[in-house]
Amino acid sequence: MDMHDVLESLKASDEPSVLATIVCVEGHSYRKTGASMLFSFSGDQIGSVSPGCLEQDLLERAAGVWDSGQFICVNYNMKPEEDVIWGESVGCGGEIRMLLEPVEGQLRTLLLEAKAKNDAGISVKLMRSWDEKEISYALIENLGDQSLVDYEDGMNNNSNQMSIIITPRPRLVLFGLGKDAEAIYSLAMQIGFRVIAADWRPALCTKERFPHAECVIGSPVQIMEQVQLRPDDYLIVCSHNLSQDKEMIRLALPLKLVYIGVLGSKKRIRMLFETFLIPSNVHAPIGLSIHADGPYEIAVSVAAELIAIRAARKGSLRQEGSKHANISPLFSSRTEQTYGSSKAIARAVEEQAAGTDGAAGSVVQRSS
Q: What is the mean pLDDT of each run of 10 residues along the chain (368 residues)?
A: 87 94 82 91 88 87 94 82 48 78 96 94 93 91 61 49 91 95 96 96 97 97 97 95 96 96 93 88 94 93 96 64 37 35 32 33 34
**The pLDDT of residue 50:** 83
Task: Indicate the domain borders of the chain.
Answer: 2-155+329-359, 171-312
- What is the structure's pLDDT at 335? 35
> What pLDDT does 81 receive?
57
∠224-225-230 over CA atoms, to 5°? 60
Instruction: State how far the Cα of 280 lies from the Cα of 296, in Å rounded to an integer.
Output: 26
pTM to 2 decimal places: 0.71
User: Residue 25 has what pLDDT?
Assistant: 84
Beta-sheet strand order (sheet of 36-40):
45-47, 36-40, 17-26, 95-102, 71-77, 348-351
| Whether the Cβ atoms of residue 302 and residue 187 lie closer than 8 Å to each other | yes
Query: Would you state the pLDDT for residue 155?
Result: 42
Name residue 1's amino acid: M
Q: What are phi and psi of 84, to 5 degrees?
A: -65, -40
Cα–Cα distance for residue pair 368/354, rounded to 1 Å: 5
> 254: cis peptide before it, omega within 30°?
no
**171 φ, ψ to 5°?**
-85, 135
Give the model's pLDDT for residue 156: 41
| 8 Å CB contact between 172 and 188 | yes
213-249 burial, b at 16+ Cβ within 10 Å, e below that, comes to bebbbbebeebbeebebeebbbbbbbbeeeebbbbbb
Superfamily of domain 171-312: NAD(P)-binding Rossmann-like Domain (3.40.50.720)
Q: Compute the distance between CA of residue 110 and CA of residue 105 in angstroms, rounded to an integer.
A: 9
